[in-house]
Structure 1
Amino acid sequence: MSQLPKRSETPAEHRWKLEDLFPSQAAWDKEYASAKKLIKKAADYQGKLNNAAQLKACFELEDELSLHVERLYVFANMRHHEDTAEPGFQALSDKSKKLSVETGEALSFVTPEVLSLTDDELDAMIKDDSLSKYRHTLEEMRRQKAHVLSKNEEALLAQVGNISTAPNTIFGMLNNADLKFPKVKNEAGEEVELTHGRYIQFLESKNRDVRKDAFTAVYDTYGKLKNTLASTLNANITKNTFYAKARKYDSTLGMSLYGDNIPKEVYTNLIDTIHKHLPLMHRYMELRRKLLGVDELHMYDLFAPLVEEFDMEISFEESKKIIHESLKPLGEDYLNVLQDGFNNGWIDVYENEGKRSGAYSWGAFGTHPYVLLNHQNNLNSMFTLTHEMGHALHSYYSDTTQNYRDAQYTIFLAEVASTLNEALLMDHLLGKSTDVKEKMYLLTYYADQFRTTVFRQTMFAEFEKIIHERAEAGESLTPQELSKIYYDLNVQYYGPGMVVDKDIEMEWARIPHFYNSFYVYKYATGFSAATSFSKQILEEGAPAVDRYLGFLKSGGSDFSINILKKAGVDMSSPEPIEQAMSVFEELIGQMEQLTNK
């Protein structure tokens, strides 16, 4: 089908059940009115947080209000993501964002007021049994003390919240609703509309002309908007720099890592360790060139199938069955929750006109998690499904074990559960495979996971580090400068055997994660931690599974580094990244052996 279906044409069984969150718009409106009333109550506690009873009551109000706002915000934005061009949902999303900012403003006095207590008073609060539920919160506040401003300054920063979301919102609307790609010819020679979802499909085509045309069409389209997109990205960097200066951090990177209490070395070690292993990536590129049988390997060849006559067409229903089978090492309880997610409206499955691109897992405390997909019937989409269900089950276990405040795990931990599911799925598929072509196909797929999740995300992380450092040094980031930095990194990462096509210099313009700055390195560290966990689970069995489920249930009840360490993975050392690289080297070795047979 060359035209995407409209949202109204999507069958109910392929949609998520947002009515589990709010049965109707009227129910949303009612909760919105309750939240507006609760916001007014916050002022009753201002200036009175000097004893345990008042502080406990204030925290309880904060929890109640935050949960209302989270539910309203998640529902409104998921509705908006179903069809980003629908004006009613755009308005609902804006309304929820404004409420969120208003709530932040109303509660902005809490942290500075608690931090105005003397160290002895704060210590007494931390030790007070009536506040035991809020112990981690109070310890966190004490850690943040150096970066919290006066009451007036905090209130002002809360008001700036609406402006600070603008770069991301503008990019999202431009990228998902307004940007139109031209029509390109598919393998059958038919002209079809190029979309975000179909782009990767075209890059996976066996026909090199189809790949090249789609590649050129995408970057030509972004290239025509390079000045607007550079301005949008610059606005985001300016926002980050403003907050870092206002909150007295040494840098934007320092600010981003501080929230999760991650040492800066974790970020720089990742880049340094990957640089050390770039020859492995170059070796893989040379192998890819050989397998494709081309004189020169181009950027549009990176997703091309390496195994002739091997096509893994996997329906959504089949994907669910295979994933269930592959996750058996995690035990019966995990599998029951997974099946509940598959059967009971957690997932929005297929692409439709105006639907947000990509995939994610999201939700609000107190109801089941949700997963947005743009599913295609291929191996990649099956891995996306198990990845997002990994996130969803992490949220489910955290939410059902921890109280509201401690349930939210950090973004640093978020990519571990999702990537572990992928590692177990790959192990399952490789273990079952007897066909040489199938095995080669899977090994290639796994090697590409390393390329995209570890190497490519580290390259993104390095790009973010460079552009923020340049902005902080007062240098200007023109579209040309952004393109040059990005292009040079591609040359360094892909190596001398790759023809780095000029078009790729515009890729920075289409990466949504650059608007959630210093996030992507967590894919690489998460992948490394997951590689370590999967090794332990497959080798040790039950004790490792118990440690891992303990990790899933921990939520955000301790610092991320500690939660992982307790479960048996130490991310403060380069060891998990080195482990991941040794697995990558092993894969390349197996592929080289099969190639030479």
Structure 2
Amino acid sequence: MAKKLATRAEVPDELKWNLKDLYPSDDAFDDAVVAYKNQLGEFGQYEGHVTDSAKKLYAVVVDAVKLSGMLDRIYFYASARNDSDTTDPVGTKLAGQAQSLFAQTQSTISFLHTEITALPKATFAQFLQDEPRLKDYRRYLELNFLRNQGHILPLAEEQLLAKSDKVFEGAENIFSMLHDGDMKYGEIEDENGEMVELTDAKISVFMQSTNRDLRKRTSQLIKKAYDALQHTFATTLSTHIEGTVLRNQAHHFATAREGELYSNEIPESVYDTLVQTVHDHLQGEHDYMQLRQDVLGLKPMYTYDRSAPLLGDPKLKFTFDESKAIVLDALKVLGDDYVAGLKAEFSGGWIDAAENVGKRSGGYENDVYGVHPYILLNWSDNYYGLTTLAHESGHAMQSYFTNATQAPQDADYPIFTAEIASTTNENLLLDYMLEKYADNKEVKAYLLQQSIQNFIGTVNLQTLFAEFEHNAYEKVEDDETLTADYLGTMYGDLVAQYNGPAVTLPDKNNSSWAGVPHFYYNYYVYQYATSMAISTTIADRIYRKVPGALDQYKTFLKAGGSQAPIELIKQAGVDVTSRQYLDDAFAVLDKRIAELKEVLEK
């Protein structure tokens, strides 16, 4: 009989996050919702008077920031209850309640955008003189309102659009329920001859197995699951993209990409530079895949062979507790204050670690200002689990340091910089592990392989995702229909182009695009690629103890959203408006491939 996933009730409390730090119970959550609705109703009194005077504007933004903090806590609690077990109707109910409240909030406060955005620059400058406390909210006002002049609709139209938020979010919710709740991969015979349920955590283990038949059977089950639902996933993604396009068109952006990158203060040229530069360096990935084929002796070599160990499986297994100890040791290079933050994370109920029935797949970090960060994992006792812990802890520590330094209105760091802290941790962990196993050929080869594949899987693969996403958006903006066949063929062509001639695709129509949740985050994925390239340089400087590198990085970690993302990164010594940071990162990749060839004597 196959081993089944634990139910939520069967998971030990020490492997669950402590949501009581947010609210002691669901009843307390309900009380918080009532209190929030009352304050939201009172906030409506400002309508038509937001910019009557400097003092009035100050009172408005103070209350707006407080409301935002209350809603963040409510929204995450509900989301966390749902993500813990998507089959639990109570969690589903709370999540729906939070989404409705968010939509209600957007509708109620939509007058803020209309009134503040219309404030003349000269009047705002005078307000700053009349009410000096407004200077604490200057970036908040400029980023969220004043820079949007030309992209705000009349109040009635903004309110109508805000009321539609729940509809616009429907496609992402359907994807989550379909992918994380309803879709099953089935059962599979593992390396020990035992039938087990194939889960996302087990996939990460089986695809790195030395047993090629197990990798093949795993791949076939994944493909079967996605193929069966590919038309539903295509309609879901198409609906989401159509909604995103509509919202950006309504706000007078020529394209969805222009609007989404504008909101993050990123020039579109950064996106195009990334795609072009990665294409210029694809030969590195092709050479690595050819090396894999030569070492493994696989002709043909399929996509399910991409992660097989080159010198066998070194059996690097780490329990959750062992991984926490390794991360603490590996990241002590970042200083005692950083280690203290990690210890608080590991012992304070910040992490939900274990896989269970209905739990949302993957991992993420979410910060609740004034409480602490929260991390969701689906733990597996392997190197992937270890690196995921380091990755999500990077997010948590950026939140931890930012919240201790910045006021709430400046604490929310931009999406573009969010992945730098997480991937810096990954790079530092790799350096630590390579040094620790320097005399072990098998492990060193494995770690170099993981490093190379992590780089390719983050910089190259996420750029592939970015190309796929942008092509899909352009097709919708041309009033064409996204079908499963079109998406599968487009994705298959990109996979072939990026992997190179050494890798054979089992099927030209590749439906695995359907399992990427980040396509519902609107031009998000490219930032994984830019962040990994940036962090590769930063981590190398810190590990080599380059003078000033650690101080620069700490300044960055504490800065939150107090400046535009490009300026924040410049403070850390990297200019993202130039392709040089990408060229430098690929030089590191080429160096690691050369090191691997030396270890393998190739």
Normalised to the residue count of structure 2, the TM-score between the two structures is: 0.97
Cα deviations by residue, 1:325-353 (Å, 9 ceiling, x for unpaired): 11111111111111111111111111011
Distance 1:367 1:531 in 2: 31
Structure 1 position 133 matched with structure 2 position 136: yes
Letter in 1 for 2:27: A
> How far off is 1:309 after superposition?
4.7
Letter in 1 for 2:486: E
Distance 2:26 2:244 in 1: 35
Match of residue 552, structure 1, among 553, 557, 562:
557
Q: Counterparts of 1:178-189 in structure 2 under 5 Å?
A: 178-189=182-193
> How far off is 1:545 after superposition?
1.1
Residue matched to 1:46: 47
Residue matched to 2:23: 22
Q: Counterparts of 1:47-66 in structure 2 under 5 Å?
A: 47-49=48-50, 50-66=52-68
Compare 138-147 and 454-463 and name the one that shifted more.
Answer: 138-147
> How far off is 1:539 after superposition?
3.1
Q: Counterparts of 1:55-94 in structure 2 under 5 Å?
A: 55-94=57-96
Distance 2:367 2:395 in 1: 11
Q: What percent of counterpart residues are identical?
A: 37
Cα deviations by residue, 1:465-489 (Å, 9 ceiling, x for unpaired): 1111111122222111111111110
> How far off is 1:152 after superposition?
1.1
Residue matched to 1:356: 360
> How far off is 1:541 after superposition?
4.6
Letter in 2 for 1:486: Y
> How far off is 1:358 after superposition?
0.4
Letter in 2 for 1:272: Q
Structure 1 position 579 matched with structure 2 position 584: yes
Structure 1 position 5 matched with structure 2 position 9: no
SS at match of 1:225: helix
> How far off is 1:361 after superposition?
0.6
Structure 2 unaligned residues grouped into runs of 5+: none
Match of residue 527, structure 2, among 493, 509, 522:
522
Q: Counterparts of 1:224-303 in structure 2 under 5 Å?
A: 224-303=228-307
Distance 2:128 2:279 in 1: 43
**Structure 2 contact 366–375 (Cα < 8 Å) conserved:** yes
> How far off is 1:123 after superposition?
2.8
Distance 2:573 2:91 in 1: 44
Distance 2:508 2:517 in 1: 18
> How far off is 1:28 after superposition?
1.2
**Structure 1 contact 299–504 (Cα < 8 Å) conserved:** no
SS at match of 2:252: coil
Compare 542-551 and 7-16 and name the one that shifted more.
Answer: 542-551
Match of residue 436, structure 1, among 435, 441, 452:
441
Letter in 2 for 1:554: A
Match of residue 335, structure 1, among 339, 342, 351:
339
> How far off is 1:139 after superposition?
2.0
> How far off is 1:414 after superposition?
0.5
**Structure 2 contact 489–508 (Cα < 8 Å) conserved:** no
Letter in 2 for 1:448: Q
Distance 2:429 2:296 in 1: 26
Cα deviations by residue, 1:33-57 (Å, 9 ceiling, x for unpaired): 1101011112211111221111111
Residue matched to 2:159: 155
CA RMSD of aligned residues (A): 1.3
**Structure 1 contact 105–155 (Cα < 8 Å) conserved:** yes
**Structure 2 contact 427–539 (Cα < 8 Å) conserved:** yes
**Structure 1 contact 307–437 (Cα < 8 Å) conserved:** yes
> How far off is 1:365 after superposition?
0.8
Structure 1 position 536 matched with structure 2 position 545: no
**Structure 1 contact 82–356 (Cα < 8 Å) conserved:** yes
Residue matched to 2:33: 32
Compare 467-476 and 517-526 and name the one that shifted more.
Answer: 467-476
Residue matched to 1:446: 451
> How far off is 1:2 after superposition?
1.5
> How far off is 1:323 after superposition?
0.9
**Structure 1 contact 313–378 (Cα < 8 Å) conserved:** yes
Letter in 1 for 2:446: Y
Cα deviations by residue, 1:418-441 (Å, 9 ceiling, x for unpaired): 000011110111112211111111
Distance 1:363 1:93 in 2: 17
**Length, aligned pairs only:** 597
> How far off is 1:381 after superposition?
0.6
Residue matched to 2:108: 106
Residue matched to 1:466: 471
Distance 1:384 1:309 in 2: 19
SS at match of 2:589: helix
Structure 1 position 420 matched with structure 2 position 427: no
Letter in 2 for 1:226: Q
Compare 69-78 and 191-200 and name the one that shifted more.
Answer: 191-200
Distance 1:118 1:340 in 2: 46
Distance 2:120 2:135 in 1: 19
**Structure 2 contact 40–108 (Cα < 8 Å) conserved:** yes
Cα deviations by residue, 1:69-119 (Å, 9 ceiling, x for unpaired): 110110111011111100011001100111111111111101210122233
Cα deviations by residue, 1:441-466 (Å, 9 ceiling, x for unpaired): 11001001111111100000010111
Normalised to the residue count of structure 1, the TM-score between the two structures is: 0.98
Residue matched to 1:121: 123
Structure 1 position 480 matched with structure 2 position 482: no
**Structure 2 contact 119–146 (Cα < 8 Å) conserved:** no
Distance 1:146 1:394 in 2: 33
Structure 1 position 204 matched with structure 2 position 208: yes
**Structure 2 contact 406–560 (Cα < 8 Å) conserved:** yes
Structure 1 position 217 matched with structure 2 position 221: yes
> How far off is 1:355 after superposition?
0.8
Distance 1:42 1:99 in 2: 15
Distance 2:293 2:249 in 1: 47
**Structure 2 contact 86–181 (Cα < 8 Å) conserved:** yes
Match of residue 402, structure 1, among 402, 406, 423:
406
SS at match of 1:323: helix
Distance 1:118 1:14 in 2: 53
Cα deviations by residue, 1:280-305 (Å, 9 ceiling, x for unpaired): 10000011112222122101111212
Distance 1:403 1:217 in 2: 49
- C-alpha change, 1:89 and 1:503, in structure 2 (3 Å) is farther
Distance 2:471 2:230 in 1: 19
